[in-house]
Amino acid sequence: MRIFMTLVPACLLVAGCSSEQGNAEENNSDTGMTAAARSGVPAVAEAYRPSFDEALRKAGEGTSPSGACAGVVGQATTVLNNADAAAQDRADAIAALDACYVRSMARFVDTTLSIENPGPQQCISLLRALPVHRSSLGSFFEGTGEDVAGYDKRLADLVGEKVRSACPDNANTILGG
Output the pLDDT for position 8: 32
Q: What residue segments make up the domains of the chain, in order of their start?
A: 1-32, 43-175
DSSP state of 116: S
Tens of pLDDT, residues 95-130: 999 999 999 999 999 999 999 999 999 999 999 999
Q: What percent of the chain shows pLDDT beyond 70?
A: 77
For 90, phi then psi, to 5°, come to -65, -45
Do residues 55 and 72 touch, judged by C-beta distance below 8 A?
Answer: yes
The mean pLDDT value for 147-166 works out to: 95
Average model confidence (pLDDT) for the chain? 81
Helix axes 105-112, 49-60, angle to 10 degrees: 10
Tens of pLDDT, residues 12-60: 333 333 333 333 333 333 333 333 433 456 789 999 999 999 999 999 9
Give the span between the Cα atoms of 45 and 34, in whole angstroms: 10
